[in-house]
Amino acid sequence: METKLYNIPANTLRPGPTLTIVRDADGKTTATMEFTCRKYDVGKPLIQAKLRQGTTLISLYPQAGTEFGYLLLHSWTSRDEPGGITTITCDFGGVDLGEGGDFSFDSSIVYTRNNSLKEESIFNHADFLSLPTGIRTGIKAASDGLAYLDGTSIKYSHNDQVIVDGVDAESLEIYDLIVTRENTTYLVATSEWTKSATGRGGISNATLLKFGKIDTPPGNPGAPDGHTWLFTGATEQISVLGSGQNSYSLTWTSGVWPEWIYAPAP
């Protein structure tokens, strides 16, 4: 028959009568509760396993309710009492992520714009695309070393077949720029727009469904001419046992994004 001391079975934590829960303005929740066990049980493996950092409050005290399932054991202290009893004070902490997992408030928001230039193929330039098809074909072939300029004609190198005849002066200037001077790229303005914030919770599934899609950033940023915004970055850091100050950032990149590829699902 198992021996009980003050009605405490061996290797058992008996919950105390008081559970104190505190939630601060930043969404961090802490809780303190005392448990008792037999004096010489506190160092035994079964008790130590229950007192591991990260153990949930409700696994030690189910009566706390599932709504506090996010509270995890952070630290504990013990003191021996008269009569062979040990009292263990457990400190729990956590952040309520909520049902949707979304940030329920933002205590600070910072918008950041990063403007830069990126290289783009000259053959995607609007002025090149406005040229007649034959001239575009001839210049591209000449740039690849497959054609050459003969007066005002562009011919294939391997058989002298005429690709385009009667190249006008403006097209000859473009030929010279691309083929003779080897300007095969040009610089395009691009912007990154980032929203950084601290708050409570996490990035919602609804937000992540927009990732990699054309989207409208918060803060109403302007994009370079002809560009739209693509949702390109999402990071979050959730503090469970720390200060409760979680952080996240969302990034959008400007560009010419084809809607048939990047448009969100209806």
For residue range 230-248, list pLDDT tens digits in order.
999 999 887 665 555 678 8
Q: What's the pLDDT score for residue 55?
A: 92
pLDDT band at 67 (very low <50, low <70, confident <90, very high): confident
Residue 16 predicted with pLDDT over 50: yes
pLDDT of 46 > 80? The answer is yes
For residue range 182-208, list pLDDT tens digits in order: 999 988 889 999 998 876 656 778 888
Q: Is residue 9 part of a domain?
A: no
- Note the pLDDT of residue 152: 87
Domain finish residue from 166, 186, 206: 186
| Boundaries of domain holding 82 | 14-95
In 51-103, which residue ranges form alpha helices assigned H by DSSP? 57-60
Each residue's pLDDT tens digit, 86-140: 999 999 988 765 544 444 445 567 889 999 888 889 998 888 888 899 899 999 9
Give percent of the chain with pLDDT exceeding 90: 38
State the pLDDT at residue 99. Answer: 44
Considering the domain architecture, whether residues 191 and 164 belong to the same structural domain is answered as no
Is residue 129 located within the same domain as residue 207? no
3 occurs within a structural domain:
no
Do 210 and 251 fall within a single domain?
Answer: yes
User: Distance between CA 80 and CA 103 in Å, rounded?
Assistant: 43
> 258 and 127, same structural domain?
no
Q: Do both 127 and 222 map to the same domain? A: no
pTM: 0.56
Average pLDDT over residues 11-36: 85
- Structure confidence at residue 24 (pLDDT): 72
Do 135 and 173 fall into the same domain?
yes
The answer to whether residues 191 and 250 belong to one domain is: yes
In a domain, 6, yes or no: no
Q: Is residue 167 part of a domain?
A: yes
Listing from the earlier edge strand, what are the strands of the sheet with 85-95?
14-23, 28-38, 85-95, 72-81
Helices (H), the chain: 45-50, 57-60, 126-129, 133-143, 169-175, 205-208, 259-262
Residue 193 located in a structural domain: yes
Which of 28-32, 51-55, 108-112 has the largest mean confidence? Answer: 51-55
pLDDT at residue 4 above 60? no
Backbone φ and ψ for 10, nearest 5 degrees, come out as -60, 145
Q: CA separation (Å) from 147 to 84, 105, 142, 144, 162? A: 97, 62, 4, 8, 9
Number of domains in the chain: 3
Residue 76 inside a domain? The answer is yes
Distance, in Å, from the CA atom of 167 to the CA atom of 175, rounded to the nearest integer, reads 10
